[in-house]
Structure 1
Amino acid sequence: MLGEPHDLLHEFPELTGKISSMRAANPVFEHLMTDYDDLDARVRQLEELGIPVADETIEELKKERLALKDRLYSFLRG
């Protein structure tokens, strides 16, 4: 769905406390979260504003977002 939020708090509401504590305590996690949030905002902006962009470009951005989410989730599980 276009413009749907994909931030980690929406994706993993049961991990809200852990996300907050890891973001405060782990600089690597914080950096990855910032990258993820920026990328998510970029994808949503492209989708919501209908900015002309090649399908391959938006798909590549979504793949990058998913890879970041996977890395962040592995931190949260560890």
Structure 2
Amino acid sequence: MSQHTPHELSEEFPDHKDKIHALKESDEHFAELAEAYHQVNRDIHRMETEVEPVADLTEHELRKRRLQLKDEIASYLR
């Protein structure tokens, strides 16, 4: 279990804050990826804090989805 802290993109990629912002403004696909990441991340945070408890498998699948999105975002930032 995590420390119940959100994994915001600015925290995950602190050296790329400006690039993330610029890509959100200029690249529609990146903006969609970032929004999907934020939504999944918020859902996981609500599950971790038991605001919206779910089955372990559901939480695990969402964590896998967050990692996939993070990997795709990281490839944009390279």
Number of residue pairs aligned between Structure 1 and Structure 2? 77
- Structure 1: which 5+ runs fail to align? none
Q: Does 1:31 align with 2:32?
A: yes
> How much identity, in percent, do the aligned residues show?
36
Give per-residue Cα distances to partners, 1:14-57, cap 9 Å, x unaligned: 11011011111100000110010001000001111253321111
- Following TM superposition, the consecutive aligned residue runs of length 4 or more in structure 1 with deviations greater than 2 angstroms are 49-52
Between the aligned partners of 1:37 and 1:53, the Cα distance in structure 2 is 19
Say which SS state the counterpart of residue 49 (structure 2) adopts: helix
CA drift of 1:60 comes to 0.6
> Which residue pairs with 2:76 in the alignment?
75
Between the aligned partners of 2:50 and 2:3, the Cα distance in structure 1 is 10
> Which residue pairs with 1:44 in the alignment?
45
Maintained 8 Å contact 2:46/2:53:
no
> Which residue pairs with 1:15 in the alignment?
16
Say which SS state the counterpart of residue 6 (structure 1) adopts: coil
- Structure 2: which 5+ runs fail to align? none
Cα RMSD, aligned residues only: 1.2
How high is the TM-score relative to the length of structure 2? Answer: 0.91
